[in-house]
Amino acid sequence: MIPVVFIHKGNSSYIYNTLYQLKQTNPQAPVYFIGTDESHVYEPIVEHISIDVLSEEANQFAELYKHYSTNSEAFELMCIQRWFVLKSFMIQKGIERCLYLDSDVLVYDDVQHLSDTYKHAGMTLCGISGHTNFVNKDVLMDFCTFVIDSYTGADALNALEKYYKDFVSIHGVGGVSDMTLLTAYAEKNKQKVENTYCFNGASSFDPSLEVGKEYFEMDKGIKKIFFQKGKPFGILKLNQKAVLFHTLHFQGAKAKKFMVKYMPFKSFSFWVGYMKYLGIYFFQKVKKKLMNKQHTPIG
């Protein structure tokens, strides 16, 4: 069974939802959560691994990194570093292929079957993002080398700076991110990377609930989704055809608020766990706030 890997610093109020949904659809899948002390509370559900023991190469990359984005430097750096962390994890565990998921992705299908469908691809992107990525170790290693090369030397940095300035002049915000690097790598390695976002009527992975207005019916800025036998479907604008989504991506604060509504099978045990982990999350948040207050100098 293909292992599923999450990488997430800190804790978030929605993580239990993601893990519960994955366990409902893939009860036999090995699940690893690479995180910090705050996320160790999910150990009964997943195998928790400290990100610190896997961060040597990620920290080395931080010394090369130059920030070319209007987004925060800490955010964009971590988004790139996670691929080095995942690489170290796969090498350490001897894993040849895994499914990497962002912590705000709900899964509705058998991940082993989906992996077999894309077995010819060494890496998958969904739209321009790696939030749902079936990835082989050798391709991930090659991608990490590509990332380092992209930040090494004056010519490379000049190219990134130009991309940043051009991007901001058009879009106003954003710039160089791991999505920039992933799509550039995919363009150079078309035989290795496949896109799993489909809008031609075939079943698809979801790039984001807020993405797809060109192709799918939307409602208040998010895709119209209906469920049949526990599976989510969108509606193509062109012919009103129902399209199966294997995953839904709750990118952004707005979408995360509605995540529970998109979980079709919620037992009594779900609600018990939901309240438990939500309580832990808020307790950690208050504790951290109090600790920060205690260490704030006066005057």
Output the pLDDT for position 297. 61
pTM: 0.95
Can you give the chain as a three-state secondary structure string?
CCCEEEEECCCCCCHHHHHHHHHHHCCCCCEEEEECHHHHHHCCCCEEEEHHHHCHHHHHHHHHCCCCECCCHHHHHHHHHHHHHHHHHHHHHCCCEEEEECCCEEECCCHHHHHHHCCCCCEEEECCECCEEEEEHHHHHHHHHHHHHHCCCHHHHHHHHHHHHHHHHHHCCCECCHHHHHHHHHHHCCCCEEECCCCCCCCECCCCCCCCCCCECEECCEECCEEECCEEEEEECCCCCEEEECEEECCCHHHHCCHHHHCCCCCHHHHHHHHHHHHHHHHHHHHHHHHHHHCCCCC
**Please, which pLDDT band fits residue 295 given cuts at 50, 70 and 90?**
low
CATH number among 1.10.287, 3.30.230, 2.60.40, 3.90.550, domain 4-201+278-294: 3.90.550
Q: What is the pLDDT of residues 80-132, one digit of tens each?
A: 999 999 999 999 999 999 999 999 999 999 999 999 999 999 999 999 999 99
Q: What is the pLDDT of residues 2-29, one digit of tens each?
A: 999 999 999 999 999 999 999 999 999 9
pLDDT higher than 90, residue 136: yes
pLDDT higher than 70, residue 240: yes
**Please, which pLDDT band fits residue 296 given cuts at 50, 70 and 90?**
low
**Please, which pLDDT band fits residue 155 given cuts at 50, 70 and 90?**
very high
How is the chain split into domains, by residue range?
Answer: 4-201+278-294
